[in-house]
Amino acid sequence: MTTQVKATAAASGAIPAQAGIHRAPILHALRLAYGLFKLRIGIVIGFTALGGVVVTPAPAPAAWRLAILVLAVIGAAAAAGGFNQYVERDLDRLMSRTRRRPFATGELPANRSFLWLLGTVLVLSVAAAAWAANALAAAYVFLGAFFYGVVYTVWLKRRTWWNIVIGGAAGSFAVLAGAAAVLPEVPAAVPALLAAVLFLWTPPHFWSLAITCRDDYTRAGVPMLPVVIGDARCARVILIHTAVLVALSLVPLAYGMGWLYAAGALGGGAWFVLASVRLARDPSPANARRNFFASLAQLSLLLLAAFAERALLG
């Protein structure tokens, strides 16, 4: 639609006068923020915090407190995600998957004001968690951001294939934050097991993606496991990790979790294991991509089953 046609349509009332002027920049800014702060990952981490709440054997806090805690977890994850893109802008330029990120393209200048913004978001998120829950929950919220932003991004990613193994603890802290909001003490068995499942889930989830992007990581010099040992050996390691985490996800049944949880754990676990077996037999990028999505399905079914059991069975 040309400028003249837009003006005519606006004058006739066919479209709002300012729609063509303001809508696109607003949508672009929202898309930019969504990607820059890795909000898709942050929202998933927020749900894992709720998972820690629902599997803890005690009455949950008020809904408004839980809502603030989840927002705090998402905010801290967003700060860590933004810091990750700031630090890795040189690597992002070398990888086809990430070269369109705003720091890599130069759309956003890499100046210190952005770091101040991230620091402010993190401090506010940790303070909100302390206010809505308690100091232990706030400490876990901080540790999740610290492990992703500093331990994984700054310290390990460029140095060792252990990067995602140790850095994967970032997701586990969200589960512990949710559990601490219910019981501010040593976590009960089930939330501790769920946190361990998240710890074991992250490497096969990310290594599957790394197989599909191995050329990118090779070009950037990042020692992801497929780059270090090859796709075939990495696929076998993924299968072992997957089998162990699925077995561990069933252990909460010995601590009181019921049939709904069992259905989710078995269904999602079987899906993930079968996809990992297929990947081990044929470590192709297509099978790696299927395994990546199977990992998401497994975690989603596990959490949804835990939510359903708490809602329906108490």
Return the CATH number at 216. 1.20.120
| Structure tokens, 273 | 């294991």
Do 132 and 153 share a domain, yes or no? yes
In a domain, 157, yes or no: yes
Do 149 and 59 share a domain, yes or no? yes
Domain residue limits at 57: 26-185
In a domain, 30, yes or no: yes
Confidence of residue 186 (pLDDT cuts 50, 70, 90): confident
Of 165, 185, 205, the residue at which a domain comes to its end is 185
Do 31 and 114 share a domain, yes or no? yes
Q: Closest Cα partner for 310 from 20, 22, 58?
A: 58
Do 164 and 247 share a domain, yes or no? no
Do 227 and 114 share a domain, yes or no? no
User: In the block, which residue shows the tokens 């497994």?
Assistant: 298
Using DSSP's 3-state secondary structure scheme, residue 136 falls into helix
47, 133, 272, 283 from 240: Cα distances, Å: 26, 37, 12, 14
The single-letter DSSP state of residue 15 is S
Q: What is the mean pLDDT of residues 285-313?
A: 94
Of 185, 211, 230, the residue at which a domain comes to its end is 185
Phi and psi torsions of 123, nearest 5°: -60, -45
Of 160, 185, 210, the residue at which a domain comes to its end is 185
Q: Does residue 74 contact residue 92 with C-beta atoms inside 8 Å? A: no
In a domain, 1, yes or no: no
In a domain, 209, yes or no: yes
In a domain, 227, yes or no: yes
| Structure tokens, 217 | 């990581």
Do 144 and 227 share a domain, yes or no? no
Model pLDDT for residues 24-68, shown as the tens digit of each residue: 788 888 888 899 999 999 999 999 999 999 999 999 999 999 999
In a domain, 228, yes or no: yes
Q: What angle do CA 34, 35, 36 make, to 5 degrees?
A: 100
User: Is 60 exceeded by the pLDDT of residue 21?
Assistant: no
Do 52 and 198 share a domain, yes or no? no
C-alpha 160/C-alpha 223 separation (Å) is: 6
Do 69 and 169 share a domain, yes or no? yes
Do 91 and 74 share a domain, yes or no? yes
CA-based radius of gyration for the chain: 21
Number of domains in the chain: 2
In a domain, 312, yes or no: yes
The single-letter DSSP state of residue 57 is S
Model pLDDT for residues 222-250, shown as the tens digit of each residue: 999 999 999 999 999 999 999 999 999 99
Q: What is the mean pLDDT of residues 126-152?
A: 97
Do 173 and 208 share a domain, yes or no? no
Average pLDDT, the chain: 91
| Structure tokens, 102 | 């705003």
In a domain, 166, yes or no: yes
What pLDDT, on a 0 to 100 scale, did the predictor assign at position 98?
A: 92
Confidence of residue 22 (pLDDT cuts 50, 70, 90): low
Q: What is the mean pLDDT of residues 257-274?
A: 96
The residue length of the chain stands at 314
User: Is 60 exceeded by the pLDDT of residue 252?
Assistant: yes
DSSP letter for each residue of 87-119: HTHHHHTT-TTTTTSHHHHTSS---HHHHHHHH
